[in-house]
Structure 1
Amino acid sequence: MTDDRQLSFWAWGYEDKLPDDDERRELAARIEGMLGFPERPVMEYPTLDDIDIPDSRIDVPEELAEFVTTDRRARASHTYGKGYRDLVRGFHGDFSKAPDIVAMPRDESDVEAVIEWATADGVAVVPFGGGTSVVAGIECDGDGYAGVCSLDMREMDAVLEVDDHSRSAKIQAGATGPEIQDQLREYGLQLRHYPQSYEFSTFGGWVATRAGGHFATRYTHIDDFVESVRAVTPAGTLETRRLPASGAGPDPNRFLLGSEGAFGVITEGWTRVQPRPPHRARATMYFDDYWDAVEATRDIVQARLYPANCRLLDSNEAMLNELAFDGSHLLVLGFESTDHPVDDDLERAMALAEAHGGTCPEGPTIEDRSADNGESDTDRSDSSEGSWRDSFIEAPYMFNSLVSMGVLVDTFETAVTWEKFPDLHEALQENVVGAMEDECGAGFLSCRFTHVYEDGPAPYYTLLAPAEVGRELEQWNVIKQAASDTLMEYGATITHHHAVGRVHREHYHEEVPDGYLDALRSMKRTLDPDGIMNPGVLL
């Protein structure tokens, strides 16, 4: 079910969606005017002929030849994820860490065959879903190994079984968001999990990285949907029992959720699904004062209204997404139900926001799609919420352009208690913007809440700075370190939903107890005794 359009070998998304020179010049002028950056160059995109990619160190095994390749484009496309460091290296043609071979298994027996061969020959195996990691989760130089095999799961993309009575489905690991929705549509069901990478990321990738999704409250991570997981490891196949819940000891699913391929390859899993919600209500609240907006958000989530959407955009984020240019902070609210109207819940949330000075100039929008069974997958509209969602999904394409014009652009996310958030936020403003100004001469930082909990928010920061071409990674390292160190200092998590990978490994080890890391190492030795599975992530 793979899309016939060609994905870029270095950038986010499809090649035919890369902005052209005129569009990039327009964006450069907008960035220069909006953020006061110095004039930015508009550099040529790389071609496949431009890149530096080493010869493969290993030959394709005869027994795997039907689904394994050393094709140049395939190896380049599987070298990096889609973080800033990845885009910069790809843009400048550095593919020195390309995998030696790329395997695209058609079924679980192919996965087993790859792992058996790799174990015998000392080859590192890197599971690959949509390739959208921003924490170097799929980047492996293979030091100490005979070579590196990128194990691309996207041929295994089927919804294998649907239990509509229990509202759950068994899904193969390589199915992308749109592929899952397309296959569930005939049952009138869907998996309402919409990470920003939804178009390209896969079910197995979501499970392996504990991805955050559509719901801002209650069902915030893929964890909240998973019933059971099946994975192939060098020590054999693991499959957890499909259950709605269990109190029988530590949850075995937890060793695979967030494991990032360090123990084995997730091949399929059962997950909770639901009918498409025909009842929806939404509104965008405007605030003059940011901390009033923060308190309104806290009141709403602690009232246990459980909005599906409860995203607070500070004025910089609102401006960056071209939603407000007057300094307003926007709280985007949305409720949905498969069973009943949610007007009252929205009305109560708006009242709580209004008590903190919020206004709703556009007014609320109430929808009842019972007649068409809520057939629309997502809420597209001309409202601020609809405009923000469009901008949210398309934003990574803008990152491609910004990298090509010497703009340092990255994101980081976290979660922290409400009590600690003000001090953390102020420290990040000082330390991260300060690091950008020191390294790049200027800097811009915006914040939005992607998810909110009764005890604290999950703030997501976007940073932009004028980079010096040729020194981008050096500058990025300093700025990233300032952000990560600040998160640790103020008791926040190093990552709320971007996973650990290799980028966050140092600070992840600060966050969790040493004894827990020892337990993970023990699990690694048990399931992967030769250490071939995605070496370098987590541990």
Structure 2
Amino acid sequence: MTERSWWGWGTVDRALSDDECVALAAGLPGLLGRPRAVPDLAGLDLPAPRVTPPAALAPLVSTAVADRAAHTYGKAYRDVVRALAGDLRAAPDAVAFPRAEGDVVALLDWAGSAGIAVVPYGGGSSVVGGVEYRGDGPVVSLDLTALDRVLEVDRVSRAARIQGGALGPVLEDQLRPHDLTLRHFPQSFEFSTLGGWLATRAGGHYATLHTHVDDLVESMRVVTPVGVSESWRLPGSGAGPSPDRLFLGSEGTLGVITEAWMRVQDRPRFKASASAVFPDMAAGMSAVRAVAQAGLYPANCRLLDPGEAALAGAAPAGECVLVLGVESAVHPVESRLAELVEIARDAGGTVTGADGGPDRAAEAWRSTFLRMPYVRDGLARMSAIVETFETATTWDRVEELYTTVRTEVGAAVEQVTGAAGMVNCRFTHVYPDGAAPYFTVVAAGRPGSEVAMWDDVKAAATEVLGRLGATITHHHAVGRDHRPGYDRQRPEPFALALRAAKAALDPAGVLNPGVLIDPPARVRS
């Protein structure tokens, strides 16, 4: 099995070499001459554990340095920088590895009676502080990845019962013999779990129609401190507020998702793609809006602005690129692609790759997309500032949002770093009524000040999105880093209901304190 990186993204063997880090940073003056070294696990200084599990649970609980270090942070830029600096003051006191749902129940009972915070942990790919405990009491990280089985397949209804700890490749491997797929592929697919996708309302492969994992849920089973919640398997229901909707997006603060019946589909047999080049973003946006409103539902509909297209090697001459892809399990897709291509041409696009040959722009973008988290880590080792944030707004405000964010966040980057940075954008998901722009910021940082500088850039982006009425997150979740924006976006009556649900389901307040809402004040004896 390939070794996971404890400090950064993905696997150890795919991280950038020192020479690759240096070459990557050549275009950003003022960075380190050589990348900072990755700390040796054996030399890490972690706080002493403050918890001792009962004898019956001891086999499930680890206080090993490697386990605690790997579960301290998620994979946000600020997480990577702190890990590289050996700053693991937030390390959990222990990591629990339940093997069955009954273990989850027992561990929550112990934590509730002992006043120990519990942070549910899937693949640990959060980029918003979703798995980092920021309180001052004892905490246990609850790693669900041993609950990783496809328990049952209903081929007639085309659904599967899957445990929440199953990583993306693990569940797909188990569905493949049935010629089925969940077909949910977030960028973190290799390193995130079904339970994590559900808890964060993750966005996946499809750029249109079924954009979020919400759309694939038939029913859920959730362990809360006061009991197990299991909804009925139904294709649809009008029976009051949906119990699944209570837990979708709850980010581990209301319960632990142990199983879900998911709507699966036959594996695609027919695929085709094409790209179109546009002279500017206004023309590209017009094309994407026409595609989104045509009811053709392409699986891929990614619009890259000039900076993003150049970074991917998809259009180095300053053009925008629209990447289109269609697929089907039952019939050829060439005619549908032809309709999409015609829409792009009508909007002024120059189309490539629609003749059945290789779509080089799409291939270049996909390669860059999968490699980007490793590139981010390489830049972090060179003291660059790297931030990504995504949002969504309606079509009547998309162009203003794109222009304002690039202008104002660009100005904030220059103020924070003292030099101009790069602010690129791509549209990851599109709808008939709007789009989800995804921004990438890269700038030179100052060694030792990277986290504070990142925080300042993040605050500027949060302020702009809130002022323009755009969501604080389309698919990255809230966690702790997006709390200011979420608090502004969320209606106050709903906040009251959420606090009441938290108090009812988690009366001791032990589940992921600080996510979505403030933790209750603890009475000290």
Q: Give the TM-score normalised by structure 2.
A: 0.96
Question: Deviation at 1:384?
Answer: 2.2
Answering whether residue 401 of structure 2 is matched by residue 424 of structure 1, we say yes
2:520 maps to what in 1? none
Deviates more, 1:493-502 or 1:387-396: 387-396
Q: Superposition pairs for residues 302-321 of structure 1, below 5 Å?
A: 302-321=293-312
1:55 maps to what in 2? 48
- TM-superposition CA deviations, 1:287-323 (whole Å, max 9, x none): 1121101000001111111111101011101111222
Note if contact 1:60-1:70 (Cα within 8 Å) is conserved in structure 2. Answer: no
From 62, 66, 71, the equivalent of 1:69 is 62
Q: What secondary structure does 1:307 align onto?
A: coil
Q: Superposition pairs for residues 126-141 of structure 1, below 5 Å?
A: 126-141=119-134
Q: What secondary structure does 1:384 align onto?
A: helix
Letter in 2 for 1:443: G
Distance 2:370 2:49 in 1: 35
Note if contact 1:98-1:141 (Cα within 8 Å) is conserved in structure 2. Answer: no
1:10 maps to what in 2? 7
Q: Superposition pairs for residues 17-416 of structure 1, below 5 Å?
A: 17-29=14-26, 32=27, 37-41=29-33, 42-143=35-136, 145=137, 147-365=138-356, 383-416=360-393
Question: Deviation at 1:50?
Answer: 4.0
Note if contact 1:209-1:498 (Cα within 8 Å) is conserved in structure 2. Answer: yes
Letter in 1 for 2:108: I
Note if contact 1:226-1:271 (Cα within 8 Å) is conserved in structure 2. Answer: yes
Note if contact 1:129-1:201 (Cα within 8 Å) is conserved in structure 2. Answer: yes
Q: Give the TM-score normalised by structure 1.
A: 0.94
Distance 1:174 1:78 in 2: 15
Deviates more, 1:461-470 or 1:473-482: 473-482
Distance 1:222 1:364 in 2: 33
2:521 maps to what in 1? none
Note if contact 1:82-1:131 (Cα within 8 Å) is conserved in structure 2. Answer: yes
- TM-superposition CA deviations, 1:174-208 (whole Å, max 9, x none): 10111111000100001100000000100000000
Letter in 2 for 1:392: F
Q: What secondary structure does 1:386 align onto?
A: helix
Structure 1 unaligned regions, length at least 5: 367-380
Letter in 2 for 1:533: L
Question: Deviation at 1:38?
Answer: 3.6
Question: Deviation at 1:122?
Answer: 0.5
From 428, 439, 447, the equivalent of 2:416 is 439
Letter in 2 for 1:13: G
Q: What secondary structure does 1:363 align onto?
A: coil
From 459, 467, 480, the equivalent of 1:489 is 467
Distance 1:130 1:7 in 2: 10
Distance 2:243 2:146 in 1: 27
Q: What secondary structure does 2:396 align onto?
A: coil
Answering whether residue 450 of structure 2 is matched by residue 450 of structure 1, we say no
Distance 2:143 2:484 in 1: 27
Distance 1:228 1:19 in 2: 41
Q: What secondary structure does 1:394 align onto?
A: helix
Q: Superposition pairs for residues 508-527 of structure 1, below 5 Å?
A: 508-527=486-505
Question: Deviation at 1:518?
Answer: 0.4
Question: Deviation at 1:141?
Answer: 3.3
Q: What secondary structure does 1:303 align onto?
A: coil
Letter in 2 for 1:450: T
- TM-superposition CA deviations, 1:342-400 (whole Å, max 9, x none): 2121111111111121012333438xxxxxxxxxxxxxx66322332222122111111
Distance 1:454 1:220 in 2: 13
Note if contact 2:274-2:352 (Cα within 8 Å) is conserved in structure 1. Answer: no
Question: Deviation at 1:260?
Answer: 0.3
Note if contact 2:158-2:263 (Cα within 8 Å) is conserved in structure 1. Answer: yes
- TM-superposition CA deviations, 1:17-74 (whole Å, max 9, x none): 2222122222222xx1xxx544543222222134331111112331111111100010
Note if contact 2:116-2:510 (Cα within 8 Å) is conserved in structure 1. Answer: yes
Aligned-residue identity in percent: 50
Query: How big is the alpha-carbon RMSD for the aligned residues of Structure 1 and Structure 2?
Result: 1.2
Q: What secondary structure does 2:56 align onto?
A: helix
Answering whether residue 470 of structure 2 is matched by residue 479 of structure 1, we say no
Distance 2:31 2:220 in 1: 51
Question: Deviation at 1:504?
Answer: 0.8
Deviates more, 1:463-472 or 1:422-431: 422-431
Q: What secondary structure does 1:10 align onto?
A: coil
Structure 2 unaligned regions, length at least 5: 518-525
Q: What secondary structure does 1:446 align onto?
A: strand
Distance 1:20 1:281 in 2: 35
Note if contact 1:284-1:364 (Cα within 8 Å) is conserved in structure 2. Answer: no
Letter in 1 for 2:65: R
Q: Specify whether residues 506 and 39 from structure 1 end up closer, same or farther in structure 2 by C-alpha distance, changes over 3 A only.
A: closer
Distance 1:289 1:186 in 2: 45
Q: What secondary structure does 1:360 align onto?
A: strand
Distance 2:32 2:399 in 1: 34
Note if contact 2:182-2:263 (Cα within 8 Å) is conserved in structure 1. Answer: yes
Deviates more, 1:229-238 or 1:41-50: 41-50
Letter in 1 for 2:247: L
Distance 1:364 1:175 in 2: 39
Aligned residues between the structures: 515
1:462 maps to what in 2? 440
Distance 2:244 2:408 in 1: 38
Letter in 2 for 1:331: L
Q: What secondary structure does 2:456 align onto?
A: helix
Question: Deviation at 1:478?
Answer: 1.3
Distance 2:322 2:116 in 1: 49
